[in-house]
A = this chain, B = another copy of it.
């Protein structure tokens, strides 16, 4: 007899669901990298079947009594956290009536389809009816989950991507950024203009050499190829699961930097997954990554903090010269470093640099929150969008294609996702700062291509914690304080005005 019979039954149940989720992630990777073009139909049925089985398991009638019973059992901190994550999974899966889930899926797919036409045509009005229908359903979802979770409607949607994330913690942080960014961007652009221009890095850069270099860089960062792969897909991602991580990229023979920086970014995600709790906790909810903010912090820590540093430019310059058989001043560390941190005002979020990116996110966050809370109508979105770009970035999109139609998120049903990008960037800065203070060899290590000091600190303080703590508690334990925008600001000032 066990002392925690209900809890133990739940562990077995969630272990089974995890195995199915892992199978789904193999199917999903295969679909993006290997599956022949004509095979979409049976694959869609396989995926729907496995998702359906997981949904049945997670909404089985005996799950709630088991969760309630387990809560009365004597559980240690890891088990307590595991039970909290199980309940959160269960609430998100069971909160919604089946007809709402169906209607939402249909509205998402319909709206995304119209958006694919409306975006190139810069025609917001075309997608407006489908988007109104979708937003109405998203608000219904938020309302129902808000009641079940005991939070606001926006927080309920945010919780789907960032567990325990709260707008009340985001607002002051974004207020701080919004206060200094517009002026700061001007200062950075002035400083940049006062320096000599960068030199171009001209190719071609053969795919095979880019791939070999990418694999070498992944190994330098700590990627374990006994438990992972690098392949090609149209949209790069980091998939799989801790025992088998599948990173993808996409090569451009005229520009090595896109795949190169993309691989470093995805490797940051991969290292987080590799470092999650192993053994007993691996297949349990508490063994999973904490949420989108911490995940994005790990990719941005590698890409933006570590690999756009002067130290890294010094390490990588000779490798690039060897890999591509190039040379000259353009391939010296200083030019590589300055190219890697150039700043430019632009309309497109996914092309934005580290300095202007938060402005793109803050605009979207303010707008989606107002729309979700009913303080604004979708008809007014394009005007409000353009007003935001004028205020924060000093530019006005010429049309909605490069304005409010540019991102798939809202049109595919992902509301409450955007803030995680910038929260991730700020968290990355705070973690990198703390790692450097805890171990003085972190930055010099990067200069030697030795990422072990950095990785050791991340493993101990972030990766190995899984979902034991909230993001906020995790950050506080690791760095001594919750998310502090001053650290991110200091990082930007040092790098761009220092």
Chain A residues packing against B (C-beta within 8 Å): 16, 19-20, 22-23, 26-27, 30, 34-39, 41-43, 45-46, 48-50, 53, 224-229, 241, 243-244, 282-283
Contact indicator B19/A244 (Cβ below 8 Å): no
Q: Are B20 and A228 interface neighbours, CB within 8 A? A: no
Q: Report yes or no: A243 in contact with B41, Cβ–Cβ below 8 A.
A: yes
Contact B43 A244 (CB under 8 A): yes
> Is the CB–CB distance between B38 and A227 below 8 Å?
yes
5 pairs, CB–CB < 8 Å, chain A vs chain B: A19-B49, A23-B49, A36-B244, A39-B227, A42-B241
Question: Given that A20-B49, A49-B16 are known contacts, is A34 also in contact with B243, CB under 8 Å in the complex?
Answer: no
**Residues of chain B within 8 A of A241, CB atoms compared:** 42
Contact residue among B23, B34, B38 (Cβ-Cβ distance under 8 Å from A226): B38
Q: Among B26, B35, B38, B282, which residue has its beta carbon within 8 angstroms of that of A27?
A: B26
Lowest 6 CB-CB distances: which A-B pairs, in order? A39-B244, A38-B226, A19-B49, A42-B243, A38-B227, A23-B46
A35-B244, A42-B241, A42-B243 as given contacts; A23 in contact with B27, CB under 8 Å: yes
- C-alpha spacing A372/B41, complex, angstroms: 44
Given A27-B23, A42-B22, A244-B43, A228 and B36 contact (CB-CB distance below 8 Å)? yes
Closest to A57 in B: B53
Note all chain B residues with C-beta closer than 8 A to A49: 16, 19-20, 23
CA distance A306 to B49 in the complex (A): 40
Question: Does A19 contact B36, Cβ atoms closer than 8 Å?
Answer: no
* Cβ-defined contact, B19 with A45, below 8 A: yes
Are B36 and A227 in contact (CB-based, < 8 A)? yes
CB proximity of A353 to chain B, nearest CB, Å: 34
CB of A22 within 8 A of CB of B46, answer: yes
Q: Complex Cα distance A219/B497, Å?
A: 61
Q: Is the CB of B227 within 8 A of A34?
A: no
User: Which residues of chain B are near A36, meaning CB under 8 Å?
Assistant: 225-229, 244
Q: A17: nearest residue on chain B (CB-CB)?
A: B49
Of all chain B residues, the one with the shortest Cβ separation from A224 is B38
Q: Which of A22, A36, A227, A228 has the most CB of B within 10 A?
A: A36
Chain B's nearest CB lies how many Å from the CB of A247? 11
Report Cα–Cα, A20/B45, bound state, in Å: 9
Instruction: Please measure, in the bound complex, the distance between the C-alpha atom of A282 and the C-alpha atom of B34, giving whole angstroms.
Output: 22
B residues near A244, Cβ cutoff 8 Å: 35-36, 38-39, 42-43
Separation of A50 and B47 alpha carbons in the complex (Å) = 13
The answer for the CA separation of A30 and B35 in the assembled complex, in Å, is 11
